[in-house]
Amino acid sequence: MSALLWGALLFLLVNAFACLVRAVVGPTLPDRIVAANVIGTKTVVILVLLGVVRDQVIWLDVALVYGLLSLTISLVVGRLIETGRLRDLEAKS
């Protein structure tokens, strides 16, 4: 069972790096935001699986905090897009 969980961790890690490429290269801003959200979700799942594999509860707490932080960042970025301030920042750089 442990080998299966380690394999799942490795698979999710490789997928997270593929999403990182999409977040950097993404053709549009929404593509980059969705890729960043997927990376955040995969990170939470990786932390939970790591906690299960290592039998340490602290990883579950870290995953919960990271998930809440990822949700907050998504809400802030959504608000910035809605008000148009994020597109202004993208145009200046």
Tally of CB atoms within 10 A around 82: 9
- C-beta separation of 89 from 74 below 8 A: no
Which pLDDT score, from 0 to 100, does residue 92 have?
62
Domain count, the chain: 1
Which pLDDT score, from 0 to 100, does residue 2 have?
82
- C-beta separation of 45 from 12 below 8 A: yes
Which pLDDT score, from 0 to 100, does residue 39 have?
93
Which pLDDT score, from 0 to 100, does residue 91 have?
61
Give the domain range for residue 74.
2-92
pLDDT tens, the chain, 93 aa long = 688 988 888 999 999 999 999 989 888 888 888 999 999 999 999 999 999 989 999 999 999 999 999 999 999 988 888 888 776 655 665
d(CA 93, CA 89): 7
